[in-house]
Structure 1
Amino acid sequence: MVVYRITNAKYKEAILSGVGAELYGGRWNMTGTRAVYCSQHVSLALLEYYIHAENIALLPKEILVAEIVIPDNLNIHKLQVLPKQWNTYPYSPNSARVFTEMVVHDAILGLQVPSAIVGLESNIILNPLHKDFGKVSVKAFHNLPIDPRPREK
């Protein structure tokens, strides 16, 4: 499986650390739990990056997209039953507990969940502390030129 993650070039070396999610929490993880949020498509990864920016006008002019390879023999769990209010903002503690509880039990390497922005597409949340995480790799980084028009809105 190939997934994508967008990053500012200055954070390139930490792309798979999960530290940002650990510090701030997210829709599917509680603060204090490392998580690496990825998307099935570059376009969704970019949209997620924009949505989570505090001020789109301050985003870096050059960003990178990481092409991340998850070997097919590794288990990515598809969440079958979504918690109540999983797609609300601010994030519901119901959804934040899902990944966090799975990580505590070291049960999964990754979790496939629908995007709250584009519900027909999925995000993959990876557990960087899982025993098999070392088998996940960045195949390549690609410069992603950004259209300046969203900054001007």
Structure 2
Amino acid sequence: MISGWLIVKRAFASQAFDGEGARLYGGRWSSPGKPVVYLGGTPAIAALEVLAHNARPGLLSASFAIVEARLPEDVVLDLDPRALPEGWNDPADPSRAAAVGDAWLSSQASLALRVPSAVLPLERDLIVDVRHPRFGELQTGEARPFAFDPRLAG
């Protein structure tokens, strides 16, 4: 089994795996209208992703939860980072990476795509297709309280 981690505001923990946020707003690896769930390959990269995408005053004092998700290895496709287009991790323009993710979603090739993190490319994230026929094989743990260390506030 492969683990992925999701940090979410506690108020949204019960809906954390519905893909609605990505459907509404899109993300690095998906265009708006595509319901997916973004998971960090480790709790540390999941936390770093939250910080990178939500750098607002007071964020660290919000009430968060962390959830581990587990997927069978045979439902995860590894993306070769060498195949990524130039500028895939440009913070101002996610369209290049989103085109890669959208093509993967259209192919239905796997339940999850393991990709490099745009925040720290040595780390990996998982993109989960909530519409994939094998989505029921995703196992989620209990949402546990999560708090950011206040020193991260600067």
Q: TM-score, normalised by structure 2?
A: 0.90
Structure 2 residue identity aligned to 1:130: H
Determine helix, strand or coil for the equivalent of 1:140: coil
1:135 maps to which residue? 137
The 8 Å contact of residues 8 and 60 in structure 1, kept in 2 or not, is answered as no
- After superposition, give the CA deviation of every residue in 1:97-137 in whole Å (9 maximum; x if it has no partner): 11112212322211111111211110010000000011102
Q: Give the RMSD, CA atoms, in angstroms.
A: 1.5
* Residue 41 (structure 1) shift: 0.7
Q: Which runs of 4+ in 1 moved over 4 A?
A: none
The 8 Å contact of residues 79 and 114 in structure 2, kept in 1 or not, is answered as yes
How many angstroms apart in 1 are the aligned matches of 2:57 and 2:127? 23
Residue 57 and residue 9 in structure 1: after superposition, are their counterparts in 2 closer, same or farther (change >3 A)?
same
Determine helix, strand or coil for the equivalent of 1:146: coil
* Residue 63 (structure 1) shift: 0.7
Mapping for residues 41-52 of structure 1, pairs under 5 Å: 41-52=42-53
1:79 maps to which residue? 79
Deviates more, 1:114-123 or 1:52-61: 52-61
Deviates more, 1:127-136 or 1:92-101: 92-101
1:17 maps to which residue? 18
* Residue 59 (structure 1) shift: 4.6
How many angstroms apart in 2 are the aligned matches of 1:24 and 1:69? 25
2:34 maps to which residue? 33
- After superposition, give the CA deviation of every residue in 1:14-65 in whole Å (9 maximum; x if it has no partner): 1111110111111110111111100111011001011111514235532111
> Which of these residues, 88, 113, 116, is aligned with residue 114 of structure 1?
116
Deviates more, 1:125-134 or 1:79-88: 79-88
How many angstroms apart in 2 are the aligned matches of 1:13 and 1:6? 12
Return 5+ residue gaps in structure 1 as ranges: none
Deviates more, 1:142-151 or 1:90-99: 142-151
The 8 Å contact of residues 116 and 122 in structure 2, kept in 1 or not, is answered as yes
**How many residues are matched?**
151
- After superposition, give the CA deviation of every residue in 1:61-102 in whole Å (9 maximum; x if it has no partner): 321110111123x32111111122111011332211111122
1:145 maps to which residue? 147
* Residue 149 (structure 1) shift: 2.8
**Identical aligned residues as a percent:** 29
